[in-house]
């Protein structure tokens, strides 16, 4: 425990998905493969809380989110969530929709890079979780479906109408969110939704390689870059330039920046410390 965590302990057990830490890489595995890893009230809440805790895990520098079995995540469980929502009053419904949005907000505000590993379907909330990640490594079996309108709801769920146009452009986002059609991995790649498209048998290797690259990189510089990418979406150019200048000046005082200079002159790879 550190002074930045004080009295509150880290959660020892997560009941609604598998969680493991191996060296600097933490992995969340959605683990209901028989139903394509649907989300429930409890798994939404656990994801929100885990991602908020993750920066306090000493040594963790990367988060991987994946699904067990033949799909990534089929979205919210039809009976365990939708069946219950139609019984709820407005106050409870607002609690639920704010909780799901809090998962996406936590992902974007988490200073740790997040990789999503996708095989098979990423639908509904699963597609938005993939969208909110920093990197999407997608197998050729991968498919995306922002299918909210197909269940009679707005396509702008969980921040999708905010994030998707910024990733694929307004025209493609309009098509995906209004029609709710399923697109295959090659189409998603062409739209700009995929960070890296690989054969399914290379998914583990590709995710591990990217996770290692991020984990052994200049973590403070990476976290600040992620923060700027998120914060500057809503800023004017002048405000963004000011924030860039302040951030860069701060990073120029770090050990990692000095280490680059020393490594360059010694003709060796930098030994990043993240400080």
User: pLDDT of 51-70, one tens digit each?
Assistant: 999 999 989 999 999 999 99
**What is the model's pTM?**
0.95
- pLDDT surpasses 60 at 1: no
Cα-based torsion angle of the residue sequence 144, 72, 107, 96 in order, rounded to the nearest 10 degrees: 90
**CB contact at 8 A, 75 and 126:** yes
Considering the domain architecture, whether residues 179 and 224 belong to the same structural domain is answered as no
Is residue 123 domain-resident?
yes
**Which residue range is the domain that position 212 belongs to?**
18-216
Considering the domain architecture, whether residues 61 and 190 belong to the same structural domain is answered as yes
Considering the domain architecture, whether residues 240 and 226 belong to the same structural domain is answered as yes
Q: What is the phi-psi region of residue 181: left when phi exceeds 0, alpha when psi lies from -120 to 50, beta otherwise?
A: beta
- pLDDT surpasses 70 at 13: yes
- 197: phi then psi, degrees, rounded to nearest 5: -105, 125
Is residue 169 domain-resident?
yes
Q: What is the mean pLDDT of residues 208-233?
A: 96
Distance CA 33, CA 176 (A): 25
Considering the domain architecture, whether residues 54 and 143 belong to the same structural domain is answered as yes
């Amino acid at each position: 425990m550190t002074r930045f965590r004080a009295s509150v302990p880290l959660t020892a057990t997560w009941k609604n998905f598998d969680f493991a830490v191996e060296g600097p890489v933490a992995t969340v595995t959605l683990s209901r493969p028989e139903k394509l890893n649907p989300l429930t009230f409890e798994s939404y809440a656990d994801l929100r809380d885990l991602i908020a805790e993750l920066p306090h895990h000493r040594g963790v520098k990367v988060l991987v989110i994946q699904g067990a079995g033949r799909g990534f995540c089929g979205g919210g469980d039809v009976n365990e969530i939708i069946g219950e929502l139609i019984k709820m009053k407005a106050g409870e419904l607002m609690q639920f929709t704010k909780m799901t949005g809090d998962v996406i907000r936590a992902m974007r505000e988490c200073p740790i890079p997040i990789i999503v590993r996708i095989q098979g379907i990423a639908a509904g909330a699963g597609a938005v979780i993939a969208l909110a990640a920093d990197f999407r490594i997608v197998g050729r079996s991968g498919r995306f479906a922002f299918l909210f309108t197909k269940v009679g709801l707005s396509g702008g769920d969980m921040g999708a109408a905010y994030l998707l146009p910024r990733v694929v452009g307004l025209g493609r986002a309009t098509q995906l969110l209004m029609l709710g059609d399923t697109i295959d991995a090659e189409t998603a790649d062409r739209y700009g939704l995929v960070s890296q498209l690989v054969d399914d048998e290379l998914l583990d290797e590709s995710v591990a390689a990217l996770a290692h690259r991020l984990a052994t990189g200049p973590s403070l510089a990476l976290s600040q870059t992620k923060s700027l990418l998120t914060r500057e979406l809503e800023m004017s150019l002048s405000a963004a330039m000011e924030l860039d200048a302040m951030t860069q000046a701060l990073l120029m005082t770090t050990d990692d920046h000095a280490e680059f200079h020393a490594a360059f002159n010694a003709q060796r790879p930098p030994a990043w410390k993240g400080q």
